[in-house]
Amino acid sequence: MRSVLTTIEGLGSFIVGLLVTRALYIANGWWLDSGRAVVRTSLALAGLGAFAAIWRFGNPWLRAGSLWGGALLEMTMLLFLTGPGTIWPIVLVFAAVISAAAVFAGAWTGSTLSKRTR
């Protein structure tokens, strides 16, 4: 039973990462094209990371990692759908690093706040 709940927890976070990244792309275009879009996307991912870590049930770091994985997969798909260009590996590295920093900084913040309120 525990492994089923863990799978659902991770899959749910992964799907949220996919959907939110797609919604941000629809609203802003490719997020690394402008400073404002980078800030919007980073804040959205940080907020979701904090939300994933505030839940008292389950493993917050699993949820944060799954969220980041879903977001990164969607970013990769969007990049290749729009035409990756010649520097796509560098773009994906920057996308991975910035999005990971946002998600895990949010998760750390959420985890810290959650521990203080217990």
Which tens digits make up the pLDDT trace of 44-72?
999 999 998 887 777 888 889 999 999 99
- The ranges assigned to domains in the chain are 2-117
Which tens digits make up the pLDDT trace of 11-49?
889 999 999 999 999 998 888 888 999 999 999 999 999
Closest CA to 53 of 19, 103, 118, 98: 103
Closest CA to 93 of 74, 76, 107, 70: 76
Classified as helix, coil or strand, 31 is coil
